[in-house]
Amino acid sequence: MRTTTRRRRLAAALATVAATAVVTLASPVPSYADDTDTSSDSQVSQQQYQDLNDVVQKYHPLGVYTADDGSLTMVALPADTPPADESQLDSEFPAGMNNVRGYISQFTQDDLDKLVNTVLAKQWNADAANYAVGVSYDAKQDEVQVNTDAPDSVTQSLLDAYPDKIEVEQTRFEQTAYRFDDTNPYSGGMAITNSSTGGGCTAGVAIQNVWTQQRSMLTAGHCGRDGDNFVNRHTDNGWGAFVGKMRGVIPSLDAAELRGSNYRGRIWTGGSTYSQSAKDVQSAQPVYPGLQVCVSGSVSLNHCGHPVTNSNYSYNWNTGTWIDGGNGFTFDQGGTATATGWRPGAVTQPGDSGGPIYTQDGTAHIAGIHSARFWNPRGCGCWTMIGSKIGPILQAKGADLVHGYDH
């Protein structure tokens, strides 16, 4: 009985507002309007919206819907709202806001909270956990709006369990901050482009000078020259925000700093393009043969299970940078034994230079930054990758790592 009454009230409210808004919708105010009076109910000031919010919050609404053009505002009150409160609310709407209507919802606040939590728990279908879900209350339709990339075969069980209470809208979720669209303060593992040369590399890890406290981001020294500017690289190879200017190149460690922005003690660790996975930096990781390391590059992305094969490696690639004094280390592809044979692990690619090499235990322990790779037919018969140790870099820079707990 309550639901029927609620539906009637909602329909009546929508009909009433539609009647008052019809002229506005058919005759929008032109941007070039002269001094002719063209005011309409859809032209609502920010102050009126603020006044409306102050009023409705006293009645603990489940939600408020406002059309983009201001032609309709719906205020949904909980199902257990006393009728007198509903009438009182109607009388308190700000002057001039003739397009606002309130109604009693089919939900109490507890009902709504439980339903939202049920949707988010993703227990309503065996495959629900494999998909993303967003949920909100729609005050215009008095329903819970579920946004998901799950197919109909998965969401139908949810609709069956809550008829007339849930509306499912299929969509695609895209994260806003990840290695190809990072935000300041920047994280290691970010995709970067040298805007002076167009070459792509990867941000390594943030460090902080022990004397000045100035922060910078490491990358491979061969990625540019002193003074080159670097920007975030998007998935389409387009240029994003300024990340830093290359300074302090150490040719003998194939390392350099990017300075001029803010940097944080975190590295991107996602194994897919749009992954938002990241780990806080905890400490430096000593390198020794047999140590299993991960590497996070902007081309091959994140991959792990690489055994260190030499912890004192030097090389000169004739690129203007090199690693001497045994301050490098090598690590192989690794792989997995399967029933059909050996499946080699992933390997870094051009553009991964500078990326963090690390071990993990919930946080990241930095072993170094990626420098190069070479084909190793006599050893593993696979690609061997080369890193520059973090210890000698920090010593040369007079710096410490920026940790995840540093602010």
pLDDT of residue 10: 58
| DSSP symbol at 402 | P
pLDDT of residue 43: 62
- 228 is written with which tokens? 């080159």
Which residues in the chain show pLDDT less than 70? 1-44, 68-69, 172-176, 318, 337, 342, 379
- 192 is written with which tokens? 């970067």
Summarised one tens digit per residue, pLDDT across range 81-119 is 998 887 888 788 888 877 888 899 999 999 999 999 999
Instruction: Check: CB of residue 266 under 8 Å from CB of residue 279.
Output: yes
Amino acid at 318: N
pLDDT of residue 38: 32
Separation of alpha carbons 261 and 98, rounded Å: 49
- 179 is written with which tokens? 């290695």
pTM listed for this prediction:
0.60
Residues recorded for the chain: 407
pLDDT of residue 366: 98
pLDDT of residue 28: 28
Nearest CA-CA partner of 389 in 311, 274, 302: 311
Instruction: Check: CB of residue 353 under 8 Å from CB of residue 368.
Output: no
